[in-house]
Amino acid sequence: MKIYIKTYGCQMNERDSEACSGMLVARGHSLAETEKEADVLIYNTCSVRDQAERKAIGKVGIMKRLKRKKPDLIIGIMGCMAQNHGEELLKELPHVDFIIGTGQLHKVPDIIEELSNERVKHVLVTENPDVLDEMATHYAIDNNQIFAQVAITRGCNRFCSYCIVPYVRGREISRKIADIVKEVNELVQNGVKEILLLGQNVAAFGLGGDVNPPAPDVSPFADLLVELNDIEGLERIRFTSPYPSYFTDKLINAIATLPKVCNNIQLPLQSGSDRILKKMNRQYTAEQYLEIINKLKKSIPEVTFATDVIVGFPEETDEDFAATRDLLNEVGFVNAYLFKYSPRQGTPAAKIADQVPQEVKENRHQILLEDLKQRTVAHNKTFVGTTQQILVEGPSKRNSERWTGKTTNGKHVMFTWQDGIQPGSIINVAIKHCSTASLFGDIVE
């Protein structure tokens, strides 16, 4: 059968879709480029914002017309929205054949095959801690792929007051170091040069779900990084997304000393106001957050940081917002995912009465976006005149004479292709000029 998968939301969802594609291809199915040519449509959904759910529901709703024309078409919803609403979705979307939550994704191929024999609705939304390993080794990989995402943990135990993830992704589980190392070794044998380690809270890897900050000399995540760094042929290791409290001295030291661990670090802040951090149930203060940043800056002089921030959290005052803005400027973030708070039903924050008006959220969001743009342009200018080592990705989508790659701190670099350069090559580029989004230069020996 021809399967079309549409993915909404985060990188973990992208990875789940890739794993499902890999499992389906291994069973002899093929992947469709468009919904029209497919026999099976799967929507891998996100619940982080109400808007993401409405978008997916709207899209699946439209597919009712296609199903009228093609009655054999199988339509399924998987992922966080499936887990969040389960059977309820069938009331609004009665033409859907299966609903599979986050803990049961490995059963997608079986369900599709059962549906091709007999049309009964399938709703699977219970937890299954085995899902991580069952899906881990499935990749829809092609031979030129130099980049792969590797899930190392799943779920979250932190219960930040605004976040639906612990409810839809379940409790935190970690894979075994040996299994991850084996998987990455296989990826590298297939040509992968760079991996992105994924988890809702990667830095809590291997701590057994304990939410208390570990001692300074403890970090199973650092132990994993050490083992991955030893893999011959692997060039770069990135990770997302870590909760700040798990940045122990041991982890900071590993990031600073392991040459393959990239030095653009994502450290979600969410707010620079202690009052709001407390309401968010984020268990660190702005000062503790800055302490981690400063330790990283001290150990890795060229480090850059990315972060996540929510503006307009309930009861956020102008002073709270100013504290966030000041902290963002003080750290000098050159990459930030800036979100306007949107209440999620079932989370504690959604029950707080004093919700910030939409226009205030918009205004604060714009201010941070403008600050970010200015910081990014200023930062990009510091690269002009330097030589950067980049991992080559391939031809640029807009201009095939130009090729692109990335520096260790994630800057996009455009350069003119030369004979012998291939995706995965490591080259030096002399940076000549820059834009807000990219650096431009020429290859040097």
Q: Residues in the site for ligand SF4, rule: CB under 6 A?
A: 156, 158-160, 163, 165-166, 200-201, 243
CB of 341 to ligand SF4, least distance (A): 12
CB of 290 to ligand SF4, least distance (A): 19
CB of 9 to ligand SF4, least distance (A): 12
Comparison of 24 and 269: residue with beta carbon closer to ligand SF4? 269
Comparison of 166 and 191: residue with beta carbon closer to ligand SF4? 166
Comparison of 128 and 283: residue with beta carbon closer to ligand SF4? 283
Comparison of 119 and 171: residue with beta carbon closer to ligand SF4? 171
Distance between CA atoms of residues 173 and 180, nearest Å: 14
CB of 102 to ligand SF4, least distance (A): 12
Comparison of 158 and 361: residue with beta carbon closer to ligand SF4? 158
Comparison of 346 and 385: residue with beta carbon closer to ligand SF4? 346
CB of 171 to ligand SF4, least distance (A): 11
Comparison of 167 and 440: residue with beta carbon closer to ligand SF4? 167
CB of 206 to ligand SF4, least distance (A): 16
CB of 169 to ligand SF4, least distance (A): 7
Comparison of 23 and 173: residue with beta carbon closer to ligand SF4? 173
CB of 281 to ligand SF4, least distance (A): 8
Helix/strand/coil (H/E/C) assignment for every residue in the chain? CEEEEEECCCHHHHHHHHHHHHHHHHCCCEECCCCCCCCEEEEEECCCCHHHHHHHHHHHHHHHHHHHHCCCCEEEEEEHHHHHHHHHHHHHCCCCCEEECHHHHHHHHHHHHHHHHCCCCEEECCCCCCHHHHHHCCCCCCCCCCEEEEECEECCCCCCCCCCHHHHHCCCEECCHHHHHHHHHHHHHCCCCEEEEECCCHHHCCCCCCCCCCCCCCCHHHHHHHHHHCCCCCCEEEEECCCHHHCCHHHHHHHHHCCCECCEEECCCECCCHHHHHHCCCCCCHHHHHHHHHHHHHHCCCCEEEEEEEECCCCCCHHHHHHHHHHHHHHCCCEEEEEECCCCCCCHHHHCCCCCCHHHHHHHHHHHHHHHHHHHHHHHHCCCCCEEEEEEEEECCCCCCEEEEECCCCCEEEEECCCCCCCCCEEEEEEEEECCCEEEEEEEC
